[in-house]
């Protein structure tokens, strides 16, 4: 029988994790420091876990040199029952990152792991370990909680030590969630930073800065550097050591509003959006502990089963979309793709097969919020919504999906998303919709986690969204810095006994702004 342990104390976790990576802020992000710590290889940016199931989870770390990742795993904080895993190489080709799957784990168990590196040039030299933990999914019906959000490091707002760093991650960590759904825009590769930004009230926002973040990312190394920049934040590394991440990507992981038709801005030397996306994808997959597909290398969409009450469906609304044009097609085809035909078929199959009480669909973009491709001219389609009226363009794909969900009798679907840099709760009501062949459902929007705050955006009546709650700065106060406090995340809690899902929208001060409790349907 698995041993149940109390949570690892925050002080102890900070002692083992906060130091890892801080030195990377000085000089090059990949450079060794302090005389290479007496020639011992370093864990440079903390540890991460991700894509956790009932019996497995991914772990990740990065070294400062060619090395082997050595991981021990245990069900006790003392590591008295530690199991050593086979070593994994961390080489320059992957920027010294390494990740591996830990399997054959007991369900519903706090798993402790410690990671260290062994120098490949001097195999008798090993570095100090860094400790992390995650909890495997339950076999039974216990309470489950998750947090979500997106949008990190955007609009020139980076890590400001004077403001406490990326404080939203500390607020999320305080809830001790089972998992974190990262809704994309994990970085802003197209958003250079300055060391100081003068604010309207006369105060100065001061960014921790590295050379790679003073320009747009074009090379694989520059995309990697944008991810490593975020990991310089103490709050984020402490969060990563305790909460497994289920990650997806969005446009700013490459460049703003990218699709196959994107005209690369003049600031770039590289003119091919396809090549930029390929480089960004490589860095993204290297820097996160997501499971890799054997059938389609680089695939982001996947299903993660987290016990009887929760399945999470991670979407990819970037890789297969058609051009960001007007998207007013009345018949479905590649130009109207958003998920793409293969991903749409996969999602239908996975939803139909799911036996979880709640099917949480992690969408990197909202459904009913109008997001223009060209914001200044209010033209073009960047997201799903095409404007009021019957389904057109990308909406055809979603109309088909919603019709399928209703016809198949799939219950308890909930959508979570970010992208628009404000928080909102939308109830999709067929009685208020132009397209009505679907069952009502909720969509919850929360972000940014650490970026500029914008909005609100106009709504599209195609699927009848009712705005039940919204918090956004208004037209007169756009691109507010994190210090303004309008940084948002969502928190979901499933009651193990009743199956009820309570969703709360919160700000970075952990203020509960709005909440709703949803009763599951079992008919």
pLDDT in tens, 508-520: 999 999 999 999 9
Q: Kindly give, in sequence order, each residue whose CB lies less than 8 Å from that of residue 84, ignoring residues fewer than 6 positions away.
A: 70, 71, 72
Lowest-confidence pick of 4-18, 324-338, 373-387, 417-431? 4-18
pLDDT in tens, 222-266: 999 999 999 999 999 999 999 999 999 999 999 999 999 999 999
Alpha-helical segments (H) within 354-417: 395-407
Percent residues over pLDDT 90 in the chain = 90
Mean pLDDT of the residues in the chain:
93
Task: Please tell me the predicted confidence (pLDDT) of residue 281.
Answer: 98
Residues 87-115: what's their mean pLDDT? 98
pLDDT confidence bin for 375, thresholds 50/70/90: confident
Task: Please tell me the predicted confidence (pLDDT) of residue 506.
Answer: 98
Residue 463 has pLDDT above 50, yes or no: yes
pLDDT confidence bin for 379, thresholds 50/70/90: confident
* Domains of the chain, CATH where assigned: 10-135 (2.60.40.380), 144-517 (3.60.21.70)
Residue 436 has pLDDT above 70, yes or no: yes
Residue 29 has pLDDT above 90, yes or no: no
- Report, in this order, helix, strand and coil percent for the chain, each rounded to 5: 20, 25, 55
pLDDT confidence bin for 523, thresholds 50/70/90: confident
Dist. CA 291–CA 133, nearest whole Å: 18
pLDDT in tens, 491-504: 999 999 999 999 99
Coil, helix or strand at residue 352: helix
The β-bridge partners of 61 are 47, 98
Task: Please tell me the predicted confidence (pLDDT) of residue 38.
Answer: 64
Residue 301 has pLDDT above 80, yes or no: yes
Percent residues over pLDDT 70 in the chain = 93
pLDDT in tens, 392-413: 999 999 999 999 999 999 999 9
Residue 254 Rama label (left phi>0; alpha psi -120 to 50; beta): alpha
Task: Please tell me the predicted confidence (pLDDT) of residue 31.
Answer: 41
Nearest to 152 by CA among 306, 49, 287, 282: 287
Task: Please tell me the predicted confidence (pLDDT) of residue 357.
Answer: 98
pLDDT in tens, 61-82: 999 999 999 999 999 999 999 9
CA dihedral 26, 29, 34, 37 (to 10 degrees): 150
Dist. CA 220–CA 279, nearest whole Å: 5
Nearest to 227 by CA among 296, 271, 278, 282: 282
């Amino acid at each position: 029988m698995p041993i149940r342990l109390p949570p690892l104390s925050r002080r102890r976790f900070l002692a083992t994790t906060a130091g890892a990576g801080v030195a990377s802020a000085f000089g090059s992000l990949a450079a060794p420091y302090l005389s290479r710590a007496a020639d011992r290889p370093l864990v440079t940016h903390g540890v991460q876990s991700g894509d956790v199931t009932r019996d497995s989870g991914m772990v990740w770390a990065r070294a400062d040199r060619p090395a082997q990742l050595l991981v021990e795993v245990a069900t006790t904080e003392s590591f008295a029952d530690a199991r050593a895993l086979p070593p994994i190489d961390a080489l320059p080709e992957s920027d010294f990152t390494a990740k591996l799957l830990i399997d054959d784990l007991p369900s519903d168990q706090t798993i402790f792991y410690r990671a260290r590196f062994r120098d490949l040039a001097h195999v008798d030299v090993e570095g100090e370990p860094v400790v992390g933990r995650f909890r495997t999914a339950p076999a039974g019906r216990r309470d489950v909680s998750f947090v979500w959000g997106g949008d990190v490091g955007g609009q020139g707002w980076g890590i400001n030590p004077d403001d406490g760093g990326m404080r939203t991650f500390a607020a999320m960590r305080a809830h001790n969630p089972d998992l974190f759904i990262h809704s994309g825009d994990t970085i802003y590769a197209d958003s250079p930073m300055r060391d100081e930004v003068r604010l309207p009230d006369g105060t100065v926002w001061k960014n921790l800065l590295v050379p790679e973040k003073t320009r747009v990312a074009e090379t694989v190394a520059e995309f990697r550097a944008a991810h490593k920049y975020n990991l310089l934040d103490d709050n984020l590394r402490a969060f990563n050591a305790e909460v497994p991440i289920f990650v997806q990507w969005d446009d700013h992981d490459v460049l703003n509003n990218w699709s196959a038709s994107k005209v690369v801005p003049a600031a770039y030397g590289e003119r091919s959006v396809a090549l930029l996306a390929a480089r960004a994808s490589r860095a993204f997959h290297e820097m996160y502990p997501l499971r890799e597909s054997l059938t389609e290398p680089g695939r982001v969409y996947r299903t993660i089963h987290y016990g009887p009450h929760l399945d999470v469906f991670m979407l990819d609304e970037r890789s297969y979309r058609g051009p960001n044009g007007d998207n007013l097609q009345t018949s479905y085809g590649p130009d109207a793709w958003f998920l793409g035909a293969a991903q749409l078929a996969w999602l239908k199959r996975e939803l139909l097969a799911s036996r979880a009480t709640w099917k949480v669909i992690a969408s990197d973009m909202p459904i009913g919020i109008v997001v223009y491709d060209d914001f200044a001219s209010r033209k073009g389609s960047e997201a799903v919504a095409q404007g009021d009226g019957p389904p057109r363009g990308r909406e055809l794909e979603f109309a088909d999906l919603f019709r399928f969900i209703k016809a198949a009798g799939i219950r308890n679907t909930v959508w979570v998303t970010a992208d628009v840099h404000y928080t909102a709760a939308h109830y999709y009501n067929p009685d208020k919709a132009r397209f009505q062949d679907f069952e009502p459902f909720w969509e919850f929007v929360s972000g940014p986690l650490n970026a500029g705050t914008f909005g609100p955006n106009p709504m599209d009546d195609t699927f009848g969204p009712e705005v039940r709650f919204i918090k956004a700065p208004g037209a007169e106060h756009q691109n507010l810095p994190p210090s303004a406090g309008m940084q948002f995340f969502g928190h979901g809690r499933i009651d193990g006994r009743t199956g009820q899902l309570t969703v709360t929208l919160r700000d970075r001060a952990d203020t509960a702004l709005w909440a709703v409790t949803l009763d599951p349907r079992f008919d």
